[in-house]
Amino acid sequence: MQTTDKPTTRYTHRHERAVAAAAAIFADKGYHGASTRDIAEKLGIQQGSLYYYFKSKEAALEEVCLTALRDYVSHIESIASQPGKLEVKLQAAIAAHLATYKHNNEAMKVHNEQRLYLPKDRRKHLNALGSRYRQQLEGIFCEGVSTGQLRRDLDCHFTALSLIGLCNYWGIQLLRSAPLKTEDVTEKCVDILLHGCLARKAGIPDTDTQTDTQVN
C-alpha cells in the first residue's frame, strides 16, 4: 500500500482500454447491435470477464459517452475564455470540434448516435456537459455581435446550434472518407458560416480575410 499508484495505474490503464474497445464496437454496430461478447473479443478476453470493468453494458455506454464529451467541453471552454479576434476563435472552435472527431472519433460518434438509448436519469450528466458546450459557443457569437464584428441581427442561439449540426455532420464524413482533410473542412466551414454564399456586390474586401482558395 505504499506505492498505492502502481496497481491503480494498472487498473486505470486496462479500464481505459476497455472503454476504447466498447467505443469502437458501439460505433460500428450500434449499442443494441453490439454484444458484450464483441467487446470482450476485441480486448482479447472472455465475455464474462468484461464485468470486472463494467457493472453493465449500459454503464459501458455511459462511460464511452462521457469520455467523448470531457475533452470536447474543456477544449471549447479554454478557447472561449481566451481573448482574441472573433474569426480566430471561431476557427479554433471548429478546428477543435473536428479534431475531436478525428482523434476520439468512435466515442464522439457513439455519443451522438447512441446516447438516447440511455435511460433519462443516466443522461443528466451528459446533458449538462452538452449545455456547457452550447453556451460557450453561443457566447463566442454573442461577443462577436457586441463587438460589432458580426451582424447585429444575428440569432446567436440558432447560429451556435447550426454550427454544432454542421460540425457533427462533417465530423462523421471525416471518418468515412479518408481523403477529406480536417484543415480543409475547417476552413470551408468557417468561410461559409462567416461569408455565406451570395455574390458580394462589389469591392468588399471585408476585414482582412484572404479570398478563400478553392480546395477540393
Partner DNA sequence: TATAGAATCTATAGGTTTATAGAAAAAAGC
Partner DNA sequence: GCTTTTTTCTATAAACCTATAGATTCTATA
Residues that bind a second copy (CB under 8 A): 29-33, 113, 117, 141, 144, 148-155, 157-159, 161-162, 164-166, 168-170, 173, 188-189, 192-201, 204, 206-207, 211-216
Q: Which of 20, 28, 42, 51 binds DNA (CB under 7 A)?
A: 51
Minimal distance in Å, beta carbon 43 to a second copy? 21
Helix, coil or strand: residue 84: coil
Closest CA to 26 of 66, 57, 49, 71: 57
**DSSP-derived secondary structure letter, 168:** H
* Contact yes or no for 57/36 (Cβ under 8 A): yes
Closest CA to 71 of 42, 98, 36, 89: 98
Residues 156-175 that bind DNA (CB under 7 A): none
Minimal distance in Å, beta carbon 23 to a second copy? 16
Residues 50/51/57/58 CA torsion (nearest 10 deg): -140
Rounded to an integer, what distance in angstroms lies between the CA atom of residue 26 and that of residue 21?
9
Q: Is 147 in the site for DNA (CB under 7 A)?
A: no
Minimal distance in Å, beta carbon 200 to DNA? 55
**DSSP-derived secondary structure letter, 202:** S
Rounded to an integer, what distance in angstroms lies between the CA atom of residue 25 and that of residue 137?
30
Minimal distance in Å, beta carbon 1 to a second copy? 44
120 binds, among a second copy, DNA, none (CB under 5 to 8 A by kind): none
161 binds, among a second copy, DNA, none (CB under 5 to 8 A by kind): a second copy
Residue whose grid cell is 477540393: 216
Q: Is 7 in the site for DNA (CB under 7 A)?
A: yes
Residues 52-81 that bind DNA (CB under 7 A): 52-53, 55-58
Could you list the residues that contact DNA (CB under 7 A)? 1-3, 6-7, 10-11, 14, 34-37, 40, 44-49, 51-53, 55-58
